Every structure is written in C-alpha cells, then in structure tokens.
A and B are shown apart, each in its own frame.
Chain A
Amino acid sequence: MAVTDRVHWIGAFDPKMRTFDVILKTPNGTTYNAYLVRGSEGVAVIDTVKAETADQFFTRLEAVADYSEIKVIVLNHLEPDHSGALPELMRRAPQATLYISDAAQLMLKALLNNSNIAYTPVTTNDRVSLGDRTLRFLNTPYLHWPDTQCTYLEEEGVLFSGDVFGCHYCDEQLFNDSVGDFRFSFEYYYSHIMRPFKQYVLSALELIEPLQINLIAPTHGPILRDHPRHYVERYRELSTPQLHLEIDHDVKTMLIFYISSYGNTMHMAEAIRDGALEIGGFRISLYDLEGGEVEPFVDLVEDADAILVGSPTINGDAVKPVWDLLSSFAKINVKGKVAGAFGSYGWSGEAVRMVEDRLRGLKMRVPAGGLRIKLIPSDVELEDCRDYGRDIGAFLMGKPRAREIDMSQL
C-alpha cells in the first residue's frame, strides 16, 4: 500500500490480537507496521513484523521491490513484534546493511541468538543515502526500550517513529483520516507504554519538534498523515507535569497514604504529618486508601516528591489496597522520589518491611527506616511518629538531620 510516491506500507494486520505483552488490552487488534522506502540508488526496509505474521510482510514487500534491491534495513526497535521477520529478511537480502542504535547491539544478539548478524550502530544525525533520498537517525532511548530510535526521511518529511505515536488499533484503511475513532487506543497506548518514560519523551520531542513533518509512520496503528503535528503536540501535553502548571515549580509535595483497621495506623499517619509540617516549606496531603480509587492517586504520585505508605499487618502481609497502590506505581516513573513506610501491627508486623522493600525495589529513596508500632501508639510512640515526619521532611528539603548510629546497637 502506497504511503507516498516513495514509501510503501509492507506491514501486517493482526485483528484478533486481544492482549499484547501480557498487560495491554487490544479490543480492536493491532497492526505491525513496516515500511519500504525507494531511492534512486536502492531500497530501505524500515522495521519488520511479528514472526507469526511474516508471510503478510514478505508478500507485501515482494509486490513493490525485489530482494536484490534492498540496500538498507533499519530496525528502530528490536522488540520481537518488530524484529520477528528480520532473520528471514536478511537471509533473502544478504547484501543489505542493518542499521540499529548503539543500545540495540546486545539486544540483537540476545533476541536472535545469533552473533553473526552484521550491523552498523547509528546515533542522532547519522545519515544513510539511498541516492535521491536520505534517512537520518534520531536516538530516542527508552521509548519504551533502551534501544529505541526514530528514522526521518528528509526529502519527504516522513518520520518513522517506532512505537512513539503508535497505538494498538487494527483498521485496513490504515490512515488516520480514514480509520475509525482511535483516540481511546492512542491515549491508552501512551498511558501504558510511554507514561513511565515521560522525561525521555520530552527529550525525544526536542529532536522531533524542529523537523518538518508531513507524515508520521509509527510501528502500530494508523499512519498519521492528517495533522501529524497534532500528535506531537499531544505527546508534549501528556508528558508535561500537570501539578507544575498549577503551583510553583519549586514547591515540593508529600503524600501520606494510609489504611487502618482500628485507627492506629491512621493516628500514626496524622502524627507523621504533624511532624513534617513542623519542618514546613512543602505541601502535605493525607489520604485514606479506604476512601479512594487508586488511579487518581497514581496521577498525584507522579507529580509528588515524597510518598509515605502506611499499612497494618494482617495475616503477615500488607493489605490489598496498599498493594494495589504500589503495583500501579509501575505505570509511572517514581525512581528517586523520597519514600517511607509505617504501620501499626498486632503480632509480627511484617507489612512495613514488605512495603519498604517494594519502595526500594521501585528505586525510590527510603532515607529513614520504616516505623512499626505495636497496636495502639503511646504518647512516646506518637512523638516517634512526629520525629519520623520531621526526618523525612528535613530530607525532602535537602537538610537532613545529622544522626550518629553505632551499628552494634541495631
């Protein structure tokens, strides 16, 4: 299918796909988009398809080019849904040179279990000539794997964007002005695939926005030929921290989440808040997980600087709403945020350590050991809670309170 005079879509339709990569629902199926670019001195193939749909790919490729014409193969991203047909393509076009990003080199060997495939690593502003057509590479790591890059066809203003600006939506009309309403899929794809990498999206947009873009050709879903820049602008909107639009960039925020069986963990949360307030200089919110939906909380966590989580211990574990909250952190980037755990317990009190381990596992910073209190906090123990709040607050404000510890006493 012709995309422009020089670009053909040679991908595959997968309308029956219902779950992608275990976690993504695909009610409309998906497409694996691959493209062929014809220049005066050769042909380039940009991305391939999932191995199971390779027959479609090769049939479409053969309809528009001979294998002997292929001079260049580009993989913008090596995930198997884009690299599945690569070994067979290279077998059929052994003269072609494979171009991948620097970060893709180890992945190529691990994915294909074949260290003999020759390739050329490229980075931003490296170019490959097809005679009267030129491919320029843009290094856009972590969108959403370390290896991801975009390829820009300079003379046509076509951006082969990889998974960026893509979505799981299968419609044989293929172009955004012809297919059905795919807004849900576009937003859903962003929130599940790109959202944890917002900082990297913003870095990539610095490379993409200055380009003259006539058409965006992603690896999944509709080809964006009508108002392509709208999708670039939407990515910037979605990746810009929302809270910072409302308050001063420098104002830090702390969120304290808790859930409480008999009010003990709640009293701890309140005392921690009171202690943190004594430090001051940042905003604090206190939320009872029993009274809220997780999804809006996750939106708040994304913009927050410190997150404390309080849970009682029931049957040797933290309780489900706490795990629901923590598991949803995988959708956003929480690395480096300040974190802590606390909770009241009756017998053994495992929850605090388990929550703390999870926070560390998410690469959050846990500057003070978790606070556990057996059953009802005494006045002295509530003062410990306030002190814990002061500790976290001081750390958040970049003024950690000096402490000396003899480890033999721990």
Chain B
Amino acid sequence: MAKAILTFADIGVSVTVPAGTRIIEVSEKVGAGIVYGCRESDCGTCLTEIVTGMENLSIPSPIELATLAEKKAKANMRLACQTLVLGDVTIKPGY
C-alpha cells in the first residue's frame, strides 16, 4: 500500500499514513488538535492551511469548494474533514 507523510507544522508531529487517509482522522488519532464541527464539509470549522504538498491532496468536492468560498478561504486552505492525503503534505490548523 502506498504511504504518505502528513506533518503537523504547529506541533512538530510527522505521521506516516496509508495514502488516502483523511486529514481529520490522523489529527484525531495523534491528538494534533484540529478543531472540527460537522465533519460533513458544511460548517468550515476544520479549515486548514496547507503549508506544502497542495498537489498531494484529493480534489475538493463541489460542496467543499462552496464552503471554502463562503469562508473566504485562501487558495492554500482545505477542509481537514474532507481532504485525503495522497502524498507528503505539511499542514497547519487555520485558526
């Protein structure tokens, strides 16, 4: 199985995960502390900055894009509850 490294820049934790793992699930598992609400892409609470590796993420769904637009998210931001890690990525919570 392909692997990827997800690094939480704010807490200095790098996690080796199977490619295709959702960011929020990794955060929960290692206590990285990304705050979330609905987990359905609706509330925008888990807005996360992608420091590096934007190209190594799953393509955003229309509903995620709509929430990102509503939140006036910058181009390097994604919702942790929706985004799958496909390669090496470094992130920081968006709050």
User: Are A and B co-members of a single complex?
Assistant: yes
A63 at the interface (CB under 8 A from B): no
Query: Are A360 and B33 also in contact (CB < 8 A) when A367-B11, A400-B12, A408-B16 are?
Result: yes
A395 at the interface (CB under 8 A from B): yes
B14 at the interface (CB under 8 A from A): yes
Q: How many inter-chain residue pairs (CB < 8 Å) link A and B?
A: 62
Interface contact A400-B11, CB-CB below 8 Å: yes
Give the contacts of B30-60 with A (CB-CB under 8 A).
30-33, 35-36, 45
Instruction: Tell me the complex Cα distance, A364–B26, Å.
Output: 17
Interface contact B30-A370, CB-CB below 8 Å: no
Give the contacts of B65-95 with A (CB-CB under 8 A).
93, 95
Interface contact A403-B13, CB-CB below 8 Å: yes
Q: Which residue of B lies closest to A340 (CB)?
A: B31
Q: Chain A residues with Cβ under 8 A from B15's Cβ?
A: 404-407
Q: Smallest Cβ distance from B15 to chain A, in angstroms?
A: 5
Query: Are A367 and B32 also in contact (CB < 8 A) when A400-B12, A407-B15 are?
Result: yes
Instruction: Tell me the complex Cα distance, A403–B12, Å.
Output: 6
Q: Chain B residues with Cβ under 8 A from A403's Cβ?
A: 12-14
Query: Are A363 and B16 also in contact (CB < 8 A) when A400-B10, A400-B11, A405-B30 are?
Result: no
Interface contact B12-A410, CB-CB below 8 Å: no
Other-chain residue from A363, A367, A395 in contact with B95 (beta carbon distance below 8 A) = A363
Q: Chain A residues with Cβ under 8 A from B21's Cβ?
A: 407
Q: Which residue of A lies closest to B31 (CB)?
A: A369
Q: Chain A residues with Cβ under 8 A from B93's Cβ?
A: 365
Other-chain residue from B12, B26, B30, B33 in contact with A365 (beta carbon distance below 8 A) = B33
Instruction: Tell me the complex Cα distance, A395–B10, Å.
Output: 8
Instruction: Tell me the complex Cα distance, A202–B17, Å.
Output: 44
**Chain B, interface residues (CB within 8 Å), range:** 20 to 34
Q: Chain B residues with Cβ under 8 A from A401's Cβ?
A: 12
Instruction: Tell me the complex Cα distance, A368–B36, Å.
Output: 16
Q: Smallest Cβ distance from B92 to chain A, in angstroms?
A: 11
Other-chain residue from B31, B36, B45 in contact with A370 (beta carbon distance below 8 A) = B31
Query: Are A405 and B36 also in contact (CB < 8 A) when A335-B95, A367-B31, A410-B29 are?
Result: no
Which residue numbers of B lie inside 8 Å of A, CB to CB?
10-18, 21, 26, 29-33, 35-36, 45, 93, 95
| Further contacts, 12 of them, CB under 8 A, given A407-B29, A407-B30 | A335-B95, A360-B33, A364-B33, A364-B35, A365-B33, A367-B31, A400-B12, A402-B14, A404-B14, A405-B13, A407-B21, A408-B18
For the complex of A and B, list the 3 residue pairs with the smallest distance between their C-beta atoms, beginning with the closest: A369-B31, A400-B12, A366-B33
Question: What are 26 A-B contacts defined by CB distance under 8 Å?
Answer: A356-B31, A360-B33, A360-B35, A363-B45, A365-B35, A365-B93, A366-B31, A367-B11, A367-B31, A368-B11, A368-B31, A369-B29, A370-B31, A395-B11, A400-B10, A402-B14, A403-B13, A405-B13, A405-B14, A405-B16, A407-B16, A407-B18, A407-B26, A407-B30, A408-B16, A410-B30
